[in-house]
Amino acid sequence: MSSSNENAVEKPKHFIQHIIEADLASGKHARIHTRFPPEPNGYLHIGHAKAICINFGLAEQYGGLCNLRFDDTNPEKEEAHYEQAIEADVRWLGFDWGERLYHASDYFDQLYQFAIELIEKGLAYVCELGPEEMRAQRGTLTEPGQNSPYRDRSVAENLRLFEAMKNGEFEEGKAVLRAKIDMASPNLNLRDPVIYRVRFAEHHATGDRWCIYPMYDYTHCISDALEGITHSLCTLEFEDHRPLYDWFLDQVSVPCHPQQIEFARLELDYIITSKRKLNQLVQEGLVNGWDDPRMPTLSGMRRRGIPPEAIRDLIDRVGVTKKKATIELGLLETCVRDWLGPRAPRYMAVLDPIKVVITNYPEGEEEQLDAPLHSQNPEMGTRKLPFGREIYIERDDFMEDPPKKYFRLKPGGAVRLRYAYIIDFEQVVRDESGRIVEIHCTYDPDTRSGIGTSERKVKGTIHWVPARASQPARVRLIDRLFTVPDPDRRDEPFTAFINPEAMREMPEARLEPALSAIEPGQPVQFERLGYFTPDSHDHQPGAPVFNRIMTLRDTWAKKKS
């Protein structure tokens, strides 16, 4: 994307922007107000990033406000540490809710009073059908449901029974409060949905004050109204819930009536965004927690080193529509490379080292070579590379019996060391098992990069690190978590498609000395190998651990072809 205003092409507005602009122009709203309402029962994933960017981004674009509200109506699954993780993720993506942090539990008293209002209007009743009976009477898409035998209770009896529910006089599953709408409605969500259920569970915010908890469909719309939300933006699976959203707001005395608008969620191949299935991966020990760098959670992607700007760029490129589509994961990888390419400083690391001894280089001597931190961005400056008699190169940068067009080190051949000299093969040294443990070469002192006098040319250039000054490290090669693009749409369990190569550790890697100053959160490019960053958990001074953020090019394109 060009930074020049002259070359910039204005992107067409999407349908939600058209709605907002029309509402502002007509005076329906003086200022827009949106919200992001996650459930604190797990970590956010890449799919949530779209909802975050749309809600906060539109509020920012149109000078409005956006709330962060936790939908904490299920005390059995929700925990405070999930809230902390969600807050960190939203901030990481570049957004802030200011003083507008709310919880559905903030409104429990008001929600209870609104439920009483529904009962008093004859629009809600206490039902004592069991869960299975209620499900059997709900009907199907082609058959109407059946009225509950408790549907015509008097207002007085419903008020008494609802208070009994609140006071803990019913066991769990023995009574619920239902809205009285239409059991013959073609929309199953309107067939007398449950509003409240009994749960004897301590809530992380309200403790044991309540033993009845409101349902999402009831809570969400009223919370929106109480907060003055103008545009309630959600994904397409809530489209069928919109009539219920509107029904609740039309029946109770709320201060405003927000407009629910649905958009297509972000779906990527090779990724699962079911919070339940992600939790399964964690609980079964198939990954090392929610923030495992293989996970599509935002915390996992942050730990891996994915820049938040790349995620925002992806969402911008995908756009906002009502059309369901699965996006190729390669697009996210392209966004990552596009962001890191001009910004990540370059260094050298050797992941599978083999020692090279330069036999004609003076023992005990060392010289400092200058190497740019970015060949296309000289303003980044340079770093020093110590060069001496012994270095490490990648084991696969040498072959004794190479194929044609192999331009790296080989018997009878020569290769240039990046930023250094041309070296000529001399011999190999083997251990007792016959494995090559050293390569002996000579160097051509007139071929030093940048200042050498020789006009000698070779076809291959390889990277290296100094043997003495390099730092031992563990490097994790992170890749796609699944081997197939649709792991949750197959006959076998999705866990059968976990990629065994999704995280390979190179325990004997060596890093050039300048990498010792790199800290977690700082992306770098290991030349020829990819983009990497120190692991936020395991990296320590003197014992570095780096994660691969991304390869330099799409290696999966070849696998698919």
> Known catalytic residues?
39, 265, 275
Answer yes or no: are the C-beta atoms of 554 and 330 closer than 8 Å: yes
Single-letter amino acid code for the residue at 555: T
Residue 484, class by beta-carbon neighbours within 10 Å (0-12 exposed, 13-18 middle, 19+ buried)?
middle
What is the chain's alpha carbon radius of gyration, rounded to the nearest angstrom?
31
Q: Is 289 left (phi over 0), alpha (psi -120 to 50) or beta?
A: left
Answer yes or no: are the C-beta atoms of 354 and 437 closer than 8 Å: yes
In the 3-class helix/strand/coil scheme, how is 494-512 assigned residue by residue? HHHHECCCCEEEEEEEEEC
Short-list 51, 50, 47, CA closest to 34: 51
Q: Cα separation of 306 and 57, whole Å?
A: 20
Contacts of 474 (CB under 8 A, 6+ apart): 505, 506, 507, 509, 538, 544, 545, 546
Contacts of 340 (CB under 8 A, 6+ apart): 307, 310, 523, 525, 531, 549, 550
Phi, psi for 517 (deg, rounded to 5): -90, -5
CA dihedral 205, 208, 214, 216 (to 10 degrees): 40
Q: Cα separation of 552 and 463, whole Å?
A: 15
Q: Cα separation of 26 and 282, whole Å?
A: 49
Short-list 18, 223, 1, 212, CA closest to 124: 212
